[in-house]
Amino acid sequence: MTDLKNFADILEIANNKGKRIYEICQILESENTEKPVSDIRNRVKNIIAAMKSAINDGLKSEEKSTSGMCGDDCAKLVYMYKTGKSLFSTLQQKILKYALATVEQNARMGKIAACPTAGSCGIVPSVIIAVSEEIDIDEEREADALITAGLIGKIVSNKLALAGAVAGCQSECGVAAAMAAAAVVELYEGTNEQIINAAALTLKNIMGLVCDPVAGLVEIPCVKRNAFLAIYALVGAELALAGVKSIIPADEIVDAMKQVGEMMSPKLKESSEAGLATTPTGLKITSELEEKWNNQE
């Protein structure tokens, strides 16, 4: 089997062989690594275990990050949900908590799975694990979902580097949301076409998202952005499962994202030279942190 270069290839090969997308992916990975599929799946299960560990650790901690800018937002949600006050369903509550728990662990320098990046590490785990808990999904099907998500990310990365410094946050949190949306459709046993449509719908509606971290740290707005886009992924999955299709094909959406990323000002690509990073408050935080760090030297 040749390497998969685009979404059209995925659909053609999977449908011609009568297989699901994750099956094609794990076969290809087995061929490329010369390892049995069982080994590939065990590695995926280890990643899922690491994701769950990061969530559990994050849920238990209120420790602030070194900068002091984040670390206790998840605890605020946990407390609110214990009081019974929420606009969201149990599933949505879990996704928000798990997303913040994971990305706050990253900010504390804890162990996380960078899926697809450290800055977007809360989106895919929170969605897969929360949905799996809600509909009682076992470890094998969790692995199917994560493999599906991984292939979505890989296909995008063939044309667009998954780095905020290259194409803005559309290529980090945006791609993570698309991966999560596809994973949800797999968990609900949607069709291969619905999986790709979930990714496409999500990608095209997050296009142009800039990367403007305050003080150059993956904290503001990155932490809360993970929570927002984890919920956003549910919208893409819900629409696709309902039969809604993206009029623009997924491969063309990736091409458009690449074009937008190339046109985006370097100041909006992780340089902290524009956007939220240069608001009066953003600049004040940066100045205070620089003074703090200088005094520690």
Say what the pLDDT of residue 235 is: 98
192 vs 14: CA distance, rounded Å: 8
Which pLDDT value is given to residue 35?
96
User: Average pLDDT for residues 92-114, to the nearest whole number?
Assistant: 97
Structure tokens at 228: 């927002």
What integer pLDDT is reported at residue 292 of this predicted model?
A: 87
State residue 1's pLDDT score: 46
Question: Could you give the CA distance from residue 13 to residue 192 in angstroms, rounded to a whole number?
Answer: 11
Q: Is residue 85 predicted with pLDDT exceeding 50? A: yes
| Cα 254 to Cα 178: distance, rounded to the nearest angstrom | 11
pLDDT at 241: 98
Would you place residue 2 in the very low, low, confident or very high pLDDT band (cuts 50, 70, 90)?
low
Q: What is the pLDDT of residues 25-75, one digit of tens each?
A: 999 999 999 999 999 999 999 999 999 999 999 999 999 998 999 999 999
For 224-259, the pLDDT digits (tens) are 999 999 999 999 999 999 999 999 999 999 999 999
Name which residue leads in pLDDT, 70 or 85: 70
- pTM for this entry: 0.96
Q: pLDDT, tens digit, for every residue of 280-295?
A: 999 999 999 999 888 8
By the 8 A CB rule, do 120 and 172 touch?
Answer: yes
User: pLDDT band at 12, cuts 50/70/90?
Assistant: very high
Residues 6+ apart with CB under 8 A from 92: 231, 234
pLDDT value at residue 297: 67
Q: Report the mean per-residue pLDDT for the chain.
A: 96
Sorting pLDDT into bands at 50, 70 and 90, what band is 84?
A: confident
| Rounded Cα gap, residues 8 and 58, in angstroms | 38
Cβ 158 vs Cβ 199: under 8 Å? no
pLDDT (0 to 100) of residue 87: 93
Question: What are all long-range contacts of 242-251, with beta carbons under 8 Å and residues at least 24 apart?
Answer: 243/194, 244/197, 244/201, 245/193, 245/197, 246/197, 246/200, 246/201, 246/204, 248/200, 248/204, 249/7, 249/8, 249/200, 250/7, 250/196, 250/197, 250/199, 250/200, 250/203, 251/6, 251/7, 251/8
